[in-house]
Structure formats: C-alpha cells, structure tokens
Structure 1
Amino acid sequence: MTAPNPPAVQLYTLRDRLAQDRAATLRAVAGLGYRAVEPFDVVTDPAGLRADLDAAGLTVCSVHAPALDPDTRDAAFAGATTVGADTVIVPFQPPERFLDAAALRDLAADLNAAAAAARRRGLRLGYHNHDFELSTRIDGRPALEALVDLLDPDVLLEVDVYWAAVGGVAAPPLLERLGDRARYLHVKDGPVNREEPMTAVGSGRMPIARVLAASRAEWHIVELDHCAGDVLTAVGDSLDWLVRNDLAGVGEA
C-alpha cells in the first residue's frame, strides 16, 4: 500500500464549535494545516456542509453515518455522496451485538447487507470500534477480530487505536494482524482509560510512532472524544507533533 494521505480530523472532535459556527470552524481547521475531515453528520444539512467544506478548501476522507438502519440508510448514502465521500463508516453498535458468536453473526449479516447496498451506490462500508469490541472475547479472540472473519472481503475497518488499548489490546500487533483490512485509523492519545480526558497526539501514553509504523491504512484521522483544554489547540498540536516527528506529511489530500 502507498503512503497514507495527510492526516484528517474527525469533526466530532469539534462538535461544540461546529454547532456555534460551522463555516468559521472549518476555516480554522484548514488554517491549522489539515486538508481533509471526517464528518459525523451528513444527514441534517449535507449541501450546506459541502458548501462550507469547499469554501474552507477541505475534502472529505470518509463519513460516519447510520448506514445499518434501512430507514436511515438512503439518507446516509445520499449525504455521503453530496459531501464527496466514497466511504461510509458505521460509528457504533451496542455491546450486546458482540456478546457471543450468535450475536456476532447477526451483526455481520447486517454489515454485509449494508455493504451491498453501499456498493450499489458506488460507496464502501466500514465499521469503527470502541473498547468493548476488543475486551469481549469470542472463542478466545477479541470480538472485533472474530467479526472480520464473518464479513465480506470489501467491508473495511476503521480502527480506533486508543479505544483498542483501553479494551486491553495493544494497537501495533492488532494492526499487524488486521493488515489491509484496517483501511482507516482514528489516532488519539491520552491516559488510556475511560475516565480521564484525551490529550493532543504525542502528549499521552499511546505509542503513536509504533502504532503508525504498524499501520497500512489509507487515512490516519486525528480525534479527541473529550479534551480538558482548548480542543482546537489540541487538534493543531496533534498535527504539529505528527509532522515534527516525520509521522505525517502536509499537503493536498
């Protein structure tokens, strides 16, 4: 696989700022040096979002959208297309869908059906993990890895390396085992527990350099679910640290 694209940022990180002034927030993201983003809502106002992204000079690497529910799937796919994405990521499924082999088979069937619907729209489908998909074991293996065996070959993973670590699975060997299946990464840092806020990439306990060395992903996407300080500063510091340590380039996405 070729070198990954310049880092993107997951817009959920900046959700409070976006709610206040979306256009200004996107301009600020571009001003930090990012060239791509991952939106988390392409259903509410996709045309307006696309206009603000274009004005800021930002492209879209992928989107988070409710693609498993047939009632929301068409709107999710249409929104993804409107903002210029070719990949739709299912951002969450409840922990009970990973409790045992039968539940996992049902989830895989739903993901495969959604992926088939996405293909008909010219889109790819992926799944994004939290911690419980790694802490839960199916036949002695992390449930996320067991899920992969049940998915159609073109269903990809967006591996959240921080939540994997919180779930008790080290990210570098996980990424090596997943190989090309992990096409997107959420890159984040912090104290590696559920309770405390996350930090700028490079200032926490995650072995970011080793994580990225193990990655074969197309996109590395900075995200902070919660941040103790100014979140825009942390997003900028994250990119600065990645570039300064030769872990990312900056340029056209």
Structure 2
Amino acid sequence: MTRPISVQLYTVREPLTADRDDVLRRISEIGYTAVEPYDPTSDPKGFRQVADDLGLSVSSTHAGALLRQEPAEVFDAVATLGTDLVIVPAGIAHEEFTTADGVARAADLLNGLAEQAAGHGMRIGYHNHWWELEPKIDGRHAIEVLADRLAPEVFLEIDAYWAAVGGADVPALLGRLGERVIALHVKDGPVVKGEPHTAVGRGVMPVPEILAAAPDAWRVVELDECATDIFAALADSHAYLTSLESL
C-alpha cells in the first residue's frame, strides 16, 4: 500500500469548527499526511494554504453540498482543495435502497452528477451507511445492486464499519465489488448502532482481513463518535494501521 493513510475530518468536526488550523496541525503531528474534508465549500483557498504548509494532501472530499446547491460551484471549490475524487456521503432517502426502482433512481442521480464532474476532470463516488446494506434485493445487498447500475467512472467509498452494522461480511462484500471500491472508511468499535466507536484495532472489526480484501483502496480513518479523547484515538488508529502496511 503506497497511498498515505487519510483521516475524514468529520471525526474532529467540533474542534475543527473552533480552530481549523490547530486541528490540522495536530493531525499532521500524529503522522497523517492526507485528509478528507467534509465541506469543500468552507474556505477552500484558506484550507488548501494551511494543508500545503503542513504537507497534508487531500485524498478525496465528501460533498453533500452537491445535492443542495449548484454542482459547478462545488466542483470549483473541490478543484481548489486539490483532489479529483468527490464523494456523495448521504442525502439520498433511505427508502430508495429498499426497492429496485429506488436503487435505479439513486444510480441515475449519481450518474448524472458524474457527467457533470467529468467536465471538471473529477469523478463522483458514493459512501454507504447501514441503510444501503440492510435491505436486500433479489438476495443481494442494495449497495451491490446500486453498483451494477452505476456508470463505470462512478466509484464507491465503502464504510467497512457501517457495512458490518448493516449485516455484510465485509471482506466478502469488498471482493464482490472489486475495483469499484477505491476508498475505504476504516473505523472500529462494537458494531452496534448508537454505540461509540473506538480507535482502529481496539474493537471487533476484522481490520486486517478488510484491508487485504481491498489492498489498493485509500484508507481513510473515521470515528463518528468516540468515548475517549479523539486525538488519542486518531493516534492509536494511525499507529495500528501503520503496523499493517504490508497488507
């Protein structure tokens, strides 16, 4: 694995709001050299300047704003951040993943955004939660049915933890999705809805098997909620994943 370990900045959303520059500095000091923002339209020029000063690259960005405002404005902000991987993290109604027709509509939405993204030299991705895994259509997880309907250029960022919460055998799922998956959200915990996450390597997720099932995917640490100090958890996660770099 040659790509640096990244961190989804939603993990540190509260301290980030209070002092963005200090948070990015602390992430850099831990040893991360890449980050994944969740709001590309929030001062992209200033963010890029600080990231550059710290040696932080932008692996990808979540961009829920694509579903709320003019896409061209969002793509312009993403270009300033310096990545070409733009991910829709949510915003499609959960119910759409319970039927084949709903999945088809979700795919059409993502494919349409992908056409617009291509004009900016970018690719669109989709990030799952549990609600794309729990429903099954003809015996398959809804996310797999979605993958079949996506244009070839649309990629998936599989959140391994939420996939497990949704009932998936995550390594097997990754094997079936194959090259469609170019990024992984790596998190850990008890695999129970509503329970806080832990540092990667401190929960019950089969992290080595998951990484081995998608060896070329970006590894992006994200802890939605954490009962311990979040920066300590990020440091422990980085140390653990670094120890597994041969996978």
Instruction: State TM-score, norm by structure 2.
Output: 0.96
Change (3 A) 1:209 1:120: same
The equivalent of 1:33 in structure 2 is 31
1:97 positional shift:
1.8
Q: Give the Cα separation in 1 of the matches to 2:186 and 2:67.
A: 27
**Runs ≥4 in structure 1, deviation > 4 angstroms?**
none
**Aligned 1:205-216 pairs, distance under 5 A:** 205-216=204-215
Deviation string 1:51-108 (CA, Å, 9 cap, x unpaired) is: 1211221010000003653733122211110010111000012201212111111111
Q: Give the Cα separation in 1 of the matches to 2:138 and 2:21.
A: 48
Change (3 A) 1:121 1:81: same
Structure number with higher relative contact order (C-alpha < 8 Å, ≥ 6 residues apart): 1
Q: Give the Cα separation in 2 of the matches to 1:109 and 1:101.
A: 12
Query: Would the aligned equivalents of 1:67 and 1:114 in 2 still touch at CA under 8 Å?
Result: no
DSSP-derived class of the 1:77 partner: helix
Q: Give the Cα separation in 2 of the matches to 1:128 and 1:14.
A: 19
The equivalent of 2:128 in structure 1 is 129
1:246 positional shift:
3.9
Instruction: State TM-score, norm by structure 1.
Output: 0.94
The equivalent of 1:101 in structure 2 is 100
Identity of aligned residues (%): 48
The equivalent of 1:251 in structure 2 is none
Q: Give the Cα separation in 2 of the matches to 1:247 and 1:129.
A: 26
Question: Could you list the runs of 5+ residues in structure 1 that have no partner in the other structure?
Answer: 249-253
The equivalent of 1:234 in structure 2 is 233
Change (3 A) 1:247 1:208: farther
Change (3 A) 1:174 1:4: farther
Q: Give the Cα separation in 1 of the matches to 2:182 and 2:245.
A: 20
DSSP-derived class of the 1:71 partner: coil
May I ask how many residue pairs the two structures share in their alignment? 246
CA RMSD of aligned residues (A): 1.4
Change (3 A) 1:155 1:16: same
The equivalent of 2:9 in structure 1 is 11
The residue identity in structure 1 corresponding to 2:184 is L
Query: Would the aligned equivalents of 1:199 and 1:227 in 2 still touch at CA under 8 Å?
Result: yes
Q: Which residue, 70, 73, 80 being the options, matches 2:71?
A: 73
Q: Give the Cα separation in 1 of the matches to 2:195 and 2:57.
A: 31
**Aligned 1:182-197 pairs, distance under 5 A:** 182-197=181-196
The equivalent of 2:174 in structure 1 is 175
Query: Would the aligned equivalents of 2:187 and 2:197 in 1 still touch at CA under 8 Å?
Result: yes
Query: Would the aligned equivalents of 1:68 and 1:110 in 2 still touch at CA under 8 Å?
Result: no
Query: Would the aligned equivalents of 2:39 and 2:65 in 1 still touch at CA under 8 Å?
Result: no
